[in-house]
């Protein structure tokens, strides 16, 4: 220990350069730092509720869809309003990652005019096709058990637009296989070769999830940009699980920066009041920031995602490193 202490004191310039190179290398990795807000990061591996949720998704389809609330002041089925809604639908369909858009324009109508069972087999009525009676359609939207309070509000002024996103089938298959193998591993049902296969699969799923998260964020941004063009004749609000996930990551990224800067500012103020010297403020603050930045770069370099639960690790590192720096320093 004394040898290392003497080495640092005698070769302090070389040691300082060496440390700066290490810190610089890891700081350059920070742009690759990522947060994970998926269900995998919020529950324990092998959780029964998660397994049940995944089985439901596998049997009944993905929840990769968005809902747009479309609210008007007057008549939802007014000709100008329907043209406005049709334009929104077409622009949404033009987005690459949007698979389909469902609205009051294309849902099948059964009482506008009323159809017999025989007629229903060979005839389809919808507003988009131009063969629906709008007065009867307005009544059907308010009274039909399919559409009332689901697609159209009771006052007939608010409707929902369902935007279904494209899914990556290869990613879904890999994740499904990974979940199955994890369950088998928990029950000691995997051989050594299968365990190696699972590790490779987990790394691949992690890479796929990163790519999907990026694509999803871009898609949400495009949809919001499209919605903004149509706020002149309707009040529009976007909702859905993909949007919530994307926004959570965005908010946490922002809070991570703001909260960390606030902690640095508070620590600087307290040190200045206590020690009343620039040297004893800059040194511990610099050491704390360097350590926190280095750890962030290490996480990015290793490809380890930080969950929403542990997203404030940067601020915690600043506080703990400052404590060690001040109280662990030898008395002078």
Task: Identify whether the C-beta of residue 293 lies closer than 8 Å to the C-beta of residue 30.
Answer: yes
- Structural domains of the chain sorted by starting position, each given as residue range(s) with its CATH number in brackets: 2-38+252-327 (no CATH), 43-58+169-209 (no CATH), 64-168+218-244 (3.30.70.100)
Task: Identify whether the C-beta of residue 21 lies closer than 8 Å to the C-beta of residue 288.
Answer: no
Position 322 confidence tier, pLDDT thresholds 50, 70, 90: confident
Least confident of 5-14, 127-136, 269-278: 5-14
The mean pLDDT of 247-275, rounded to a whole number, is: 87
Query: Hey, what are 80's tokens?
Result: 């100008």
Q: Tell me the percentage of the chain whose pLDDT exceeds 90.
A: 27
> Which residues does residue 239 pair with via DSSP β-bridges, in sequence order?
67
Q: In angstroms, rounded to a whole number, what is the distance separating the alpha carbons of residues 267 and 320?
A: 12
Question: What is the average pLDDT score of the chain?
Answer: 85
Instruction: Inform me whether the pLDDT recorded for 54 exceeds 80.
Output: no
Position 63 confidence tier, pLDDT thresholds 50, 70, 90: low
CA trace torsion 281, 271, 318, 4 (10° rounding): 50
Position 84 confidence tier, pLDDT thresholds 50, 70, 90: very high
Give the Å distances, CA to CA, from 188 to 40, 161, 181, 191, 205.
Answer: 21, 46, 10, 8, 22
The mean pLDDT of 70-74, rounded to a whole number, is: 91
Region for residue 238 given its phi and psi (left: phi exceeds 0; alpha: psi -120 to 50; beta: otherwise):
beta
Q: In angstroms, rounded to a whole number, what is the distance separating the alpha carbons of residues 125 and 147?
A: 15
Q: In angstroms, rounded to a whole number, what is the distance separating the alpha carbons of residues 96 and 216?
A: 11
Instruction: Inform me whether the pLDDT recorded for 326 exceeds 90.
Output: no
- pTM score, two decimals? 0.78
In tens, the pLDDT along 20-46 reads 899 899 989 988 887 776 666 666 666
In tens, the pLDDT along 277-296 reads 888 888 889 989 998 999 98
Which has more pLDDT, 169 or 291? 291
Which residues lie below 8 Å from residue 14, measured CB to CB, with a gap of 6+? none
User: Could you give the 3-state DSSP secondary structure of residue 153?
Assistant: coil
Q: What are phi and psi of 237, to 5 degrees?
A: -135, 135
Q: In angstroms, rounded to a whole number, what is the distance separating the alpha carbons of residues 180 and 109?
A: 42
**What is residue 332's predicted lDDT score, i.e. its pLDDT?**
47
Which residues lie below 8 Å from residue 226, measured CB to CB, with a gap of 6+? 88, 91, 92, 95
**What is residue 330's predicted lDDT score, i.e. its pLDDT?**
52
Q: In angstroms, rounded to a whole number, what is the distance separating the alpha carbons of residues 244 and 239?
A: 7
Residue listed under structure tokens 């389909």: 100
Sign of the CA dihedral running 53, 54, 60, 63:
positive
The mean pLDDT of 294-317, rounded to a whole number, is: 84
């Amino acid at each position: 220990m004394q040898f290392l202490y003497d080495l640092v004191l005698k070769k302090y310039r070389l040691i300082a350069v060496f440390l700066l190179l290490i810190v610089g290398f890891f700081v350059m990795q920070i742009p690759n730092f990522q947060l994970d807000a998926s269900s995998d990061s919020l529950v324990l591996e092998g959780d029964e509720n998660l397994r049940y949720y995944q089985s439901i998704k596998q049997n009944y389809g993905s929840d990769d869809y968005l809902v747009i609330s479309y609210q008007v002041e007057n008549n939802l089925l007014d000709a100008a309003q329907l043209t406005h809604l049709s334009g929104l639908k077409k622009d949404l369909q033009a987005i690459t990652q949007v698979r389909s858009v469902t609205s009051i324009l294309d849902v099948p109508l059964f009482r506008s005019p009323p159809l017999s069972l025989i007629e229903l087999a060979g005839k389809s009525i919808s507003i988009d096709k131009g063969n629906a009676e709008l007065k009867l359609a307005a009544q059907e939207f308010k009274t039909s058990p399919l559409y009332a309070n689901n697609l159209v509000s009771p006052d007939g002024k608010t409707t929902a637009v369902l935007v279904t996103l494209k899914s990556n089938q290869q990613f879904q298959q890999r994740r499904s296989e990974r979940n199955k193998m994890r369950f088998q591993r928990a029950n000691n049902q995997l051989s050594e070769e299968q365990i190696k296969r699972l590790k490779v699969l987990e790394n691949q799923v992690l890479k796929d999830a990163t790519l999907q998260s990026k694509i999803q964020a871009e898609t949400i941004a495009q949809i919001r940009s499209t919605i903004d063009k149509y706020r002149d004749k309707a009040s529009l609000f976007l909702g859905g699980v993909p949007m919530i996930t994307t926004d959570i990551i965005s908010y946490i990224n922002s809070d991570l920066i703001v909260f960390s800067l606030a902690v640095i500012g508070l620590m600087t103020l307290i040190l200045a009041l206590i020690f009343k010297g620039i040297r004893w403020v800059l040194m511990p603050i610099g050491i704390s920031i360097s350590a926190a930045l280095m750890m962030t770069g290490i996480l990015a370099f290793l490809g380890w995602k930080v969950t929403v639960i542990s997203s404030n690790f940067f601020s915690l590192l600043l506080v703990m490193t400052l404590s060690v720096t001040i109280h662990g320093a030898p008395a002078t």
